[in-house]
Each structure stands twice: as structure tokens, then as C-alpha cells.
Structure 1
Amino acid sequence: MASAKPKESKSGIPAAEFIADVKQYLVDKKISCENCVRELHTVHNKYKFLEARLLQQKKSLLVKIPDIKSTAECVDFLITKKESDEQSFEAHYRLSDNLYAKANVDSKQDRVFLWLGANVMLEYDYDEAKKLLAKNLASAQKQCKALTADLNFLKDQITISEVNIARMHNHGVNLRKAAGKK
């Protein structure tokens, strides 16, 4: 048997096939050593591209998670202010990256507006907002955990493909040396 049967990750990323017997693999595939190295490089590049994409997704989630947590803390703050005796309080809110404004907030309100993304804002009561934020936080953390598992799987596949490339290249060098001695 030339190699182990490939599997795939839970998210469908195909596993790299480890080539245990290089000579037999080339015979089974009916391919030259140089073409095989080219194919292995193509597979390796696909893994590297996928790794970069997953790293970008994880980076985006790692930015989003603290935002969700701070928004949930703000909703909790509004709930405590509503339960207090204060009629209103002053808050600073961000208009843009470096621009803040003061606002006088009525403590007795029981509604909050949340940005959902894509320039969409919806009004929720405090309980609905807390549930939505908790659901979004759990979902983001679950996605982050899945991305971490996929990235770990991908690192293994990249290593396997690099080992395959090196072994196939070395086999090609040995074939050329043997052909040169004759």
C-alpha cells in the first residue's frame, strides 16, 4: 500500500495524503516525479491559502467578541441605572473613531437600540437585548473554537504536504544521480 487513506476535518477540509512509499506512489499514479512535486506544491499552496483565510476569520471574531461583551455590559449598566433612583445620567458615546459626544440619558427607559451590522439598528427591550447578545457571544465563541480546531488540523496537513514535497524531491534527485552514473 502506497499511502494511508485520506480523511477530512469536521468542516470538510480534506486531509493530506502521506506518501509512505514514494516509488509505489509514482507507479500507482502513473506520473513523473517532477509532475508529482508540482501537484504537491499546488495542494500545499491551497492549504496555505485556506490557512490565511481562516486566520483572517479568527482575527475578525477575536475583535468582535470583546465588542459583544462590552455591549452586554452597557445593557447591564442601563438596567442598574433604571433600577436606581436617578432620573437621568450623562454618558459619552462614540460618533467616530476619535470623536465622542455627551448625551443625557433618561434612566427610566426600558428599551435599547443595538447595531446589528450592515447599517441596521433595531430596538429591543433590555431582556431581549441581553438574550440576543448572549446568543451572539456564544455563537462567536463557538465559531472561534471551530476555527482553532480547523487551523490546528490545517497545520498538520501543511506539515504532511511539506514532508511529501521534500521526500518526492529527494527521490527525484536520487533518480537523476542514478541516471547520471549509468
Structure 2
Amino acid sequence: MASALKAPNTSGQEDAPTNPRGIPQAPFVDKVEDYVATRQDVEPTLRKFQEMISKYQFMEMNVQKRMGGLQEKIPEIQKTLDTVRFLKSRKDETEPIETTFELNDTLYARAKIPATEEVYLWLGANIMLSYQVDEAETLLTSKLSTAQTSLSNCEEDLDYLREQITTMEVATARVYNWEIVQKRKEKTSEEVDEQKQS
């Protein structure tokens, strides 16, 4: 049975080509006969292809969620980094900075901020740590760079996943069309046989 021997690799084995983050490449069906030998092989092959499409769509959804989180996180990191750099530039000033800062979405407070060597950063999970201004700048620069790289990888993965979904949809259509052609051939040969008998 040809489909058992040449079926696409859906088990995640090491020999399947992947993108840099391990997303497997969809098989390109150039010859349907490499995947399907008889009409009985069509249904299991279509099922496998549909399963692969579902997996790619699930991965696509997860990448989109991760991208959304990064798109929210990057401006926050940038804003914090800009603030730390501003405080660093004002380190030698004697006059305190007068500012309004956000306590909540609609609640602001006025404050006078003297020159400082230390800032407090939220790290997440209700944790705030004290950093020297230079350390904070280094940390935030690193976090911003990492987040931007992750966002770039997500965009690349999303394009790759869409390409793989399209490849699998084309493969599914080719197998389905191959089955229709086979049905027509069988029907034509049956009609020819009937005409010969009559």
C-alpha cells in the first residue's frame, strides 16, 4: 500500500524539515500517487492532511496570542526605559522634577522627584526590585531587545504557518480532485463495458 509507505511524516521525527523554531514543514504533494495508491487510501490521507491543517491552525493561534502579548509589552518596556534614561540624564540636577504620574487608568497624582541613583522596577507577579539607574537601563535594554527579537520571530513563524496551511489545503484539494478523476475513469470504463455487452 503506497500511502502506508510514503505518507507524510506527522510524528515529528527528526528527519522532517522544520523552521528555526521547530515548526515542521508541510509536505508538498506534487504527485498524488506518492500518497495514494487506490481510492481506499483517499479517506485516511485526507484525514491525516486535515489533522495537520488543524495542528498548524492551533500553532497559528498560539503564535498570534504570543504576538499580542509582545505588542503590549514592548511599548511598556520602551516607556520605562525612556523614563530611566531621563532620570539618568537628570542625575546631576539640583532641582527636583515636577511630574504627574498614573496611579490607575483614570487617577493621577503630582510628585516632585529629586535626583536619584536608584529606581524601582516591576518585574511581574507583584514583585518590585531596586536597581541602580545604570543597571536598570542595561536590564531594560536587554529585555526590550529580547522582546523585539521574539516579536520578529513570531511574525516570521506566523508567515511560515500560513504558508504551511496553504500547502496542506492545496494537497488536500489535489487528493480530492485525484479521487474525482478516478471515479470518472471507473464510471467511463463501466459504461464502455456495458456498451460492449449490449
Asked whether 1:16 is paired with 2:15, we answer no
Aligned with 1:147: secondary structure? helix
Q: Report the AA paired with residue 147 of structure 2.
A: A
| Residue number in structure 2 paired with 1:127 | 134
Aligned partner (choices 80, 85, 95) of residue 76 of structure 1: 85
Largest Rg, 1 or 2 = 2
| 1:96-144 C-alpha deviation (Å, 9 max, x unpaired) | 2222222222x23211000111111100010000000011011111111
TM-score by length of 1: 0.88
Aligned partner (choices 85, 97, 112) of residue 104 of structure 1: 112
What is the percentage of aligned positions where both structures have the same residue?
A: 34
Indicate the RMSD between aligned Cα atoms, in angstroms: 2.3
Q: Report the AA paired with residue 145 of structure 2.
A: A
Q: Report the AA paired with residue 101 of structure 2.
A: Y
Counterpart contact for 2:70–2:147, Cα < 8 Å? yes
Asked whether 1:177 is paired with 2:165, we answer no
Q: Which runs of 4+ in 1 moved over 4 A?
A: 2-6
| Residue number in structure 1 paired with 2:102 | 94
Aligned with 1:27: secondary structure? coil
Gaps of 5+ in 2: 1-5, 9-14, 191-198
Counterpart contact for 1:115–1:122, Cα < 8 Å? yes
Aligned partner (choices 36, 43, 49) of residue 52 of structure 2: 43
| 1:69-93 C-alpha deviation (Å, 9 max, x unpaired) | 111111112123332231x222222
* Cα deviation, residue 180, structure 1: 3.4
Equivalent-residue separation in structure 2 for 1:44 and 1:166 (angstroms): 13
Equivalent-residue separation in structure 2 for 1:160 and 1:41 (angstroms): 12
State the aligned residue count. 179
| Residue number in structure 1 paired with 2:64 | 55
Asked whether 1:114 is paired with 2:124, we answer no
Aligned with 1:57: secondary structure? helix
TM-score by length of 2: 0.81
* Cα deviation, residue 65, structure 1: 1.2
| Residue number in structure 1 paired with 2:196 | none
| Residue number in structure 1 paired with 2:12 | none
Equivalent-residue separation in structure 2 for 1:40 and 1:128 (angstroms): 51
* Cα deviation, residue 12, structure 1: 0.7
Gaps of 5+ in 1: none
Aligned with 2:37: secondary structure? helix
* Cα deviation, residue 18, structure 1: 1.0
